Structure formats: C-alpha cells, structure tokens
C-alpha cells in the first residue's frame, strides 16, 4: 500500500476490478497460428490479485520454462451491463488501455482450460499505464503492439478481430452482469512467445496518429520458491507445450516431427500391397485412399500426415473463410520436411484443391507430397515442380467453385478412409495406404519379411515349379524356404 492507502497494483484503473474476463481466441492471425477458428468467443476468469501496474515485474515460477507474453487490449466497464444489444454495448465501456495476459504453459495441464494456475499468478495481468476515453476512440480502428527487449513482436488492429469488441461485451452480458470497474481482456494476435528472466516486455494500445495508452512495461524475474508436491500438481512440460508456447517447433528449437531415416528407408522398400496385406492381417482393411492416382508413376511417396479439410462450397461461407491466410494456405505454409498433406475433398473433382503456387510452397518447405481425393489445377505446372502428388485428376476451376477451406490438423475422410495427423502414408503405383503410427514399425518389418518370402516363391515359379503347395507354402516348401534363409 502507498502512504494514502491505495494499492499500487491498481493505479491505472479507477478501482480494483471485481472480475477480469479474458477471451481465449479472438484475432484471426492468432487463430491461423493455432490452426483453428472458433465460431464463437469463449472465456476464462483471471483473479484481480493478478493485476499489476506498469513498471513492475512478473515472476517466472521456479521449475518452469515456458512463461509467455500476450499483449492485449483491455476494456474497462463504466456502467452496469446485462442483456445489452451489440449496438449499445460500447456505451457501457468507459476506458480502453493496454494489458499483458502472461501465462505459464508448464502449469496448463492440471487446470483443463480454466487457466487458474497458468494465468492467475500475482503480476500476471499488468494493465495500463494510461486510460483512453472509450467515447473518443473508434473501437474498430485500435492498434495493439508488443515489444520484447525493444524488438516488435506483435502488431495488429481491431479490424483483425474475429469478434468485435462490442460483441464481446454484449455476449458476456448475456451470461453475467458486467459491473463498473470490471476488465475484459480482448485476446492476443499472432506473435506471442516465450520470455525469460531479465526480458522487458512492453505493450501499447493506440489509434495510429492519435491517442495512446503509453507503453505498459514489465520486467521478467526468476522465482525462487518451489512448489510443494504434497499440496498439488507440479509443473510439467512436453514438446507439444513447447511448440505452443514458442509459436512453432522451429522457434522452440525442436527437430521436425517425422520418421527416422532408418524407418523411412524401410518404408521406401516396402510395397503398398505388402503393407496393405499386413494391415489386413491385423484387422485393418479400410486403410487405402481410393480413387487417387500418382501424378508421377514409378515414384514412391512416404511421409507423416498433416491434414486439410474442405467442406462443400457455399458462397457465404467462402466469403467468410476463403480469403486471406485461410486454412488451405495455412496448411501449405506450415508443412515440415517429410510431411504429406492429405486433403479431404469428399471425392469432389469439379474444382481444384490446389495449384502450382502452393505446390511450389510445399516443395520449398521440404514436404514429401500431397494427396487429395479432389482435383489439381495447373496440372502440368504442378507436375513440373517434382512434388509427389496423388489426386483424382485435373480441373481448371479454382477452390471456391466447390470447396470452402475449413480447418487443418484434424481427422479427415480422404478417398474413403480416415486419416489422422501423424498417421504414416505410403504411396506407389498401386495406390496409397494409411498406416497408424503405433503400428508402423511392426507392419513394415512384417511386410519386408513377406516380400522376401514372396520373392523366393516367385523364383521357384519362374524355375518351373507349380504353384500348388508353393503359394501359399505347405510344410514341405516351408522347410525348404527356412533352410534357404538359414543358409544366407
């Protein structure tokens, strides 16, 4: 407390807020980073004890590594709002300022989305330093910027929001009473990442060329107190959390996910027919992507699946989801070396699912190939790229004629089978087979062993032996084969 009895944590606000409501995902740029676009806003609560003022510090808890910043626009409620219409919602906002929604990814797992421990710590919600009068600013033209150690890391405007600021106020007022002094954090754009002790994070909200909140400054420090395992869960982190916190596997310093060189070499030697037979022996018969043919006969395709789902064309949906860095462009732009993009097009080949520019992008990213049960545009140009492609044919029309790019990295239906991200896909002139990642080593070993056996049988048939008793082998031929193998 200061000498006059006020709490410096709330110096930028009219009073201590009764509640702080934060939006999970609200900017299109952030949604593209996360590979999902919500249809509606969703929220979580932060305790008012997490609020801090500009010039303060935020502590990275002992035993954690993934403290991430999220620059945000904060709305401060001026008058009580309950069941307000979107057209009147902004009237209930008194001020706008900058905020930083710090969070520790190491603490996310235990709270299952409530974010209490990961985002509720003391100092995790700095706000300020100056308040902009909501009556004098255009809520659709505010700019948000975040710097780390003087380097600009985030920049976006409220024009890039999936849900307007007024919509957030109106929607929340349907479910609870927004009271004077309450704070709404309006979400973060692309660019959030990890900070470490001694880093300085600054956030500013302004109208370009006009009024500004000033820079909200926070310095990261290292916590010394250890969490007590006897009281609750301890920090835990894995590579998936690291990739989320940093923004990508590459930014986190992680190697691309994929097959080992040894396993990839084995899969290159294993025919699709042999892999399919081994999967059938294990009860998996619906694992072929039917109706697709290779653009380059004689080439082998091996890789781990990334997925893109296209839904049936509808003009209003395409207007909303088809432009900008949509799911289709996002999928091609984020392919990693050795990955295969599998596109669900519902067998609809009366419009293309991609063309030469995106094929070039996939090739430049080191992707192993693309599989679509739809059509390919710029067929000759795509073929010239040299990327392994399996498709249902060619078509000159663009995506929007029949398809809306919808989402990436979800289970998709392609050519009559389900493909999950991380499945292993193998293609040759016989077609494409999908191998669950948990079975791939077992299946490829068995397929190669069967290929060796089938090769020996073929030699016997070529030498003039009848197939009766040889294919499949009876006990006499099996003994001869076993002896041959033992002599090698």
Helix, strand, coil proportions of the chain in percent (round to 5)? Answer: 30, 25, 45
The response to whether 205 counts as a known ligand-binding position is no
The response to whether 358 counts as a known ligand-binding position is yes
Strand ranges for 61-104 from DSSP E: 67-68, 71-77, 93-100, 103-104
Q: What DSSP assignment string belongs to 104-122?
A: EGGGSGGGTT--HHHH-ST
Which burial class, exposed, middle or buried, applies to 18 when counting CB atoms under 10 A from its CB (0-12, 13-18, 19+)? middle
Beta strands 369-372 and 339-344, pairing class: parallel
The response to whether 356 counts as a known ligand-binding position is yes
Q: What is the spatial distance between Cα 182 and Cα 395, in angstroms, rounded to a whole number?
A: 55
The response to whether 357 counts as a known ligand-binding position is yes
The response to whether 150 counts as a known ligand-binding position is no
Q: Are 322 and 296 in contact (CB under 8 A)?
A: no
**Any idea of the CA torsion for 58, 36, 419, 389, to the nearest 10 degrees?**
-110
Beta strands 403-408 and 388-391, pairing class: unpaired
Angle between helices 440-462 and 272-281 (to 10 degrees): 120
For 301, list phi and psi in degrees, rounded to 5: -115, 125
Task: Convert 190-205 to b/e letters by CB count within 10 Å (16 or more is b).
Answer: bbbbbbeeebebbbbb
Alpha helices in 159-312 (DSSP H): 165-175, 239-246, 261-269, 272-281
Task: Convert 261-288 to b/e letters by CB count within 10 Å (16 or more is b).
Answer: eebbebbeebbbbbbbbbbeeeebeebb
Report whether the peptide linkage leading into residue 256 is cis, meaning its omega lies within 30 degrees of zero.
no
Residue 273 structure tokens: 């027919």
The response to whether 377 counts as a known ligand-binding position is yes
Measuring CA to CA, which residue among 30, 3, 17 is closest to residue 131? 17
Q: What is the spatial distance between Cα 53 and Cα 274, in angstroms, rounded to a whole number?
A: 65
As a whole number of Å, the end-to-end CA separation of the chain is 84
Q: Which residues contact 287 (CB under 8 A, 6 or more apart)?
A: 276, 279, 417, 433, 434, 435
Residue 9 DSSP class: G
Measuring CA to CA, which residue among 272, 346, 358 is closest to residue 310? 346
Q: What is the spatial distance between Cα 144 and Cα 192, in angstroms, rounded to a whole number?
A: 12
Binding site listing: 355-358, 377-378
Binding site listing for substrate: 355-358, 377
Binding site listing for Mg(2+): 378
């Amino acid at each position: 407390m200061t000498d006059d009895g006020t709490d410096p944590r709330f110096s930028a606000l009219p009073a201590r807020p009764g509640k702080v409501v934060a939006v999970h995902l609200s900017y299109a740029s952030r949604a593209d980073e996360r590979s999902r676009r919500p249809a509606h806003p969703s929220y979580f609560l932060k305790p008012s004890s997490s609020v801090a003022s500009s010039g303060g510090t935020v502590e990275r808890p002992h035993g954690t590594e993934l403290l991430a910043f999220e620059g945000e626009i904060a709305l401060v409620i001026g008058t009580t709002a309950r069941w307000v219409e979107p057209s009147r919602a902004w009237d209930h906002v008194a001020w706008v300022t900058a905020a930083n929604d710090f969070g520790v990814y190491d603490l996310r797992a235990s709270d299952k989305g409530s974010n209490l421990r990961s985002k509720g710590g003391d100092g995790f919600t700095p706000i300020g330093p100056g308040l902009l009068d909501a009556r004098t600013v255009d809520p659709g033209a505010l700019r948000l910027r975040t710097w780390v150690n003087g380097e600009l890391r985030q920049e976006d405007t409220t024009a890039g929001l999936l849900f307007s600021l007024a919509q957030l106020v109106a929607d929340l007022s349907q479910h609870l009473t927004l009271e004077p002094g309450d704070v709404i954090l309006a979400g973060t754009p692309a660019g959030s990442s990890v900070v470490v002790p001694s880093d300085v994070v600054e956030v500013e909200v302004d109208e370009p060329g006009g009024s500004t909140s000033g820079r909200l400054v926070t310095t990261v420090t290292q916590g010394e107190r250890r969490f007590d395992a006897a009281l609750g869960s301890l920090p835990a982190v894995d590579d998936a959390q690291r990739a989320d916190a940093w923004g990508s596997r590459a930014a986190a310093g992680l190697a691309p996910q994929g097959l080992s060189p040894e396993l990839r070499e084995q899969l290159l030697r294993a025919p699709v027919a042999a892999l399919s037979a081994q999967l059938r022996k294990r009860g998996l018969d619906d694992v072929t992507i039917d109706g697709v043919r290779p653009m380059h006969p004689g080439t082998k395709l091996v890789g781990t699946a990334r997925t893109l789902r296209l839904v049936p064309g509808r003009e209003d949906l395409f207007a909303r989801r088809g432009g900008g860095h949509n799911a289709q462009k996002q999928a091609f732009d984020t392919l990693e070396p050795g990955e295969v993009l599998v596109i669900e097009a519902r067998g609809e080949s009366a419009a293309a699912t991609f063309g030469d520019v995106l094929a070039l992008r996939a090739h430049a990213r080191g992707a192993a190939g693309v599989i679509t049960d739809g059509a390919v545009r710029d067929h000759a140009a795509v073929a010239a790229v040299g990327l392994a492609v399996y498709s249902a044919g060619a078509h000159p029309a663009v995506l929007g004629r029949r398809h809306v790019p919808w989402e990436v990295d979800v289970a998709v239906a392609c050519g009559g089978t389900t493909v999950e991200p991380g499945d292993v896909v193998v293609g040759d002139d016989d077609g494409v087979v999908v191998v669950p990642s948990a079975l791939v080593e077992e299946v490829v070993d068995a397929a190669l062993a069967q290929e060796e056996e089938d090769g020996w049988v073929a030699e016997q048939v070529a030498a003039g032996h009848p197939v009766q008793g040889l294919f499949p082998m009876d006990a006499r031929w099996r003994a001869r084969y076993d002896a041959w193998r033992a002599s090698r």
